[in-house]
Structure 1
Amino acid sequence: MIFSSIRHAVEDVFRPGALKVLGLGVGLSVGLLVLVTVLFTWVVGAITPDHFTLPFTHYQIGFVNDVASLATIGLMLVLSIFLMIPVASAFTGLFLEDVAALVEEAHYPDLPQIRKFTLAETIADSLRFLGVVIVANLVAFTVYFFILPFAPLLFFGLNGYLLGREYFQMAAARRLRKEQVQALYLKHRWTVWMTGALMAVVLTIPVVNLVVPVLGAATFTHLYHRLTGQVPRPRVLSSL
């Protein structure tokens, strides 16, 4: 069920009609990562002196600021592996409605109409989830140093839980009441967690991780419908 949902999601987000949504997702992800890198580089440049005098000598080493800035860019490229987790969480709600509509039109065309979330609701939910992800991972970072061999397991386990729960509940909330969403999540929480953990793993793969915000929305839309007993129809053509 999990891998079938992911396979269908990959087919959906890379079909011609969905490429504009995928392109928007990749563009926003790249833009946010670049913005964070530029800001971090600027801060490092502002606090780093232009030259450094060696102790007990009068010899000065120049270009310290430039070297620090270049090193910062390299560091941010490495940190982007971890930064994509909050990036994905920030954009989840923004893509979910469009992606879910594409998936449902192609595979579940006979579903009743839904109440669409307002922009204010979407932004509020995304900011709330982003805050939870940031706080949870900051707390986890303090633990990683004490359990180094098991740190990857904690990282993927924690973010798999966070991403899976949020993606699934947002997909389910489009068609179920709050109490129904919670009941369905509790019934299938291990399946949801494992799917979220796979998303967290992919988020650590540079370049590939840029498609995860959109891919995750499609995957959990499929997963929700499968868990409620619906089988996807063969893909139909869409004008979107």
Structure 2
Amino acid sequence: MIFRAFADALGQWNDKRFRRAIWFGLALSIALLFAMYAVVLLVVQLVTPATWSLPWIGEIGGLPTLLSLASIAVMLVLSVFLMVPVASAFTGLFLDDVADAVEAVHYPNLPQAPRAPFWPALVDSARYFGVLVGLNLIGMVVFVFTGGIGIVILWLINGYLLSREYFTMIALRRLPVAEAHALRKSNRFRLWMAGALMAVPLSVPLVNLVMPVIGAATFTHIYHRLRR
């Protein structure tokens, strides 16, 4: 069921509502990454002295510039870990558009689902972003000390969080809160597997920019197939 849902989501790639959501998420993701880099750069500039004095060598200048350049490399490495929360942070803002597009094509007999209000969706996205950033930074530390095992642990952690967030948001469009949570809990391991499979490409630069949309479509299919 998971692979069929993923294939059906990919099959709707050319839908204009998918493309609009992808471009929207792409623009916001890049903007947020640049904002995060700007903060790192500002901190580097503020805490680094203009010159350092070393014994037998004398004063060395240009260190802020050198560290600023080094921070670019650091952010490129961090982006592999941070793109999961960054690319997923705005999911709630375009999830209704993607789910509506999927339902219009594959489940046309369903009534129109109510749309989530903008500001609550934004607050939920911000909360979700904070949780994912914290866990991915912890996962990055684990990865440094454990090598390949760390990235697998990171995929499992992100898989659980992604499945929980995506499926719950999709289910709440059509179910009361108690029923949505009960459906998720009764299928938690299957959903966790779907989330973990989504977490893997979310760790791949560039590919991770489109995966939130594909993920929203995939979990929409999974929800409707679990309800049959």
What TM-score do you get using the length of structure 2 for normalisation? 0.90
Q: Structure 1 21/31 Cα, relative in aligned 2: closer, same or farther at 3 Å?
A: same
TM-align CA RMSD: 2.0
**Could you tell me whether the CA contact under 8 Å between 1:95 and 1:213 is conserved in 2?**
no
C-alpha separation in 2, matches of 1:145 and 1:202: 20
Q: Structure 1 42/54 Cα, relative in aligned 2: closer, same or farther at 3 Å?
A: same
Does residue 222 of structure 2 align to residue 223 of structure 1?
yes
C-alpha separation in 1, matches of 2:14 and 2:60: 51
Number of residue pairs matched by the alignment: 228
**Could you tell me whether the CA contact under 8 Å between 2:25 and 2:87 is conserved in 1?**
no
Unaligned runs of 5+ in 1: 230-240
Question: Per-residue CA shift, 1:184-218, capped at 9, x if unaligned?
Answer: 11221111101111221111101111112222211
**Could you tell me whether the CA contact under 8 Å between 2:143 and 2:150 is conserved in 1?**
yes
Unaligned runs of 5+ in 2: none
Task: Please state how far the C-alpha of 1:133 moved relative to its aligned partner.
Answer: 2.5
Q: Structure 1 141/21 Cα, relative in aligned 2: closer, same or farther at 3 Å?
A: closer
Aligned partner letter, 1:227 = L
C-alpha separation in 2, matches of 1:73 and 1:139: 21
Does residue 213 of structure 2 align to residue 209 of structure 1?
no
Aligned partner letter, 1:31 = A
Structure 2 match to 1:33? 33
Matches within 5 A, 1:17-56: 17-56=17-56
C-alpha separation in 1, matches of 2:28 and 2:144: 32
Question: Per-residue CA shift, 1:64-85, capped at 9, x if unaligned?
Answer: 1111111101110110011112
Higher mean alpha-carbon deviation, 138-147 vs 159-168, is at: 138-147
C-alpha separation in 1, matches of 2:33 and 2:27: 10
C-alpha separation in 2, matches of 1:74 and 1:111: 49
**Could you tell me whether the CA contact under 8 Å between 1:13 and 1:22 is conserved in 2?**
no
What TM-score do you get using the length of structure 1 for normalisation? 0.86
Aligned partner letter, 2:204 = I
Identity of aligned residues (%): 46
Aligned partner letter, 2:200 = V
Question: Per-residue CA shift, 1:152-187, capped at 9, x if unaligned?
Answer: 222111110001111011111101111111121122
